[in-house]
Each structure stands twice: as C-alpha cells, then as structure tokens.
Structure 1
Amino acid sequence: MQARIYKRPKSAMQSGKALVDQWILEFDPAEAKKADPLMGWSGSGDTQAQVQLKFPDCAAAQAYAEKHGISARVHAVPPKTLKLQAYADNFR
C-alpha cells in the first residue's frame, strides 16, 4: 500500500491561512476508475482512495505511516516568495 504525504495547499478562493498548516496522508489509487454504464459516473471499488488522514506536522504523518507499514513519499512544499512593492509602483 503506497501513500503520499503533502501539506494542504491554500484554496484559490481563500485569502486567510486557515487549515494550511495541516499535513495530509492520502493513499494512491489501487485500481483505475471506470464509468458506470447506467449513470455514467466514474468510480471504483478501491475504498482506500476515499481516505484522507490529517496530521499537525510532517513528522507525525511519517511516524503513522511507518508504524502501520505504509510506504509513503513526502511532497515538499516549495518556498514562498513575496514580491514587495509600493502602491505607487503601479503607476510608473
């Protein structure tokens, strides 16, 4: 069973920093999704794909994966760079 650990990204509709300090452990899909012949919805029999575990930090998520024998890979968060400029720079 494989999983990935990543930090929750900020939503495009979100201006604050609520819930962006959480780390998520998600399982990789074990089988491909297929279309339902009656409704056309996509789905699969893999119930692990629905599981999202939340942790306060990366070390806790890695410890959980190691304790339960889950091979997990960590996706690092790219550093944020702020472009500081004055309002008057918009009119130059």
Structure 2
Amino acid sequence: MSNTLTPTSRRWWSYGHVWMVIAGPLVVVVASFVTFYLAAHGQDPVMSTQEQISDAKGAGNALAPAIQARNHAATGELPPAKTANKP
C-alpha cells in the first residue's frame, strides 16, 4: 500500500489574494462613477456677463486686465486709471 497524498484543489474565490487583486480596479471603477455623479449633479450656475460688467465699472484698478496686473506686479507701477467722461 502506498501513501500518496492527493492535492485538494480549491475554487478561485477561496483565495484571499485574488480578492485583493480584484479590489483595486473595482475601487477605481466605483470612484469614477461617484466622480461622474458629482460632476453631473453639482454644476455651478451660469452667471450672466451683464452682472460682471456692471460690477467691474465701480471697481477701478481692482479688476484690471491680467497683463496690466502682471506688469504691475513685476514693475511696481500702477496701470493708468481710465477716466470717465462726465458731462
């Protein structure tokens, strides 16, 4: 009589490292759906440009164009203020 051991094969889902390998991509897929949901349902409202123009008229140099503001930061000189023609 010979003593031979027969290997018992287990199913693939009974190994713990298989679930660790599957869990990584699964978490990424779930996170992408959550990100899509937040992007689709959390949109910022579209603002009217008319409100921005009326707000910018009283701001003076605070809302200077980007190039003028950049030049001011580099040189220290203020951009020339636009004077409104008053009747």
Name the TM tier (shorter chain): under 0.3
Normalising to structure 2: TM-score of the pair?
0.21
Greater relative contact order (CA < 8 Å, ≥ 6 in sequence): 1
The structure whose residues are more often strand, as a share, is: 1
> Which structure's CA Rg is the greater one?
2
Normalising to structure 1: TM-score of the pair?
0.20
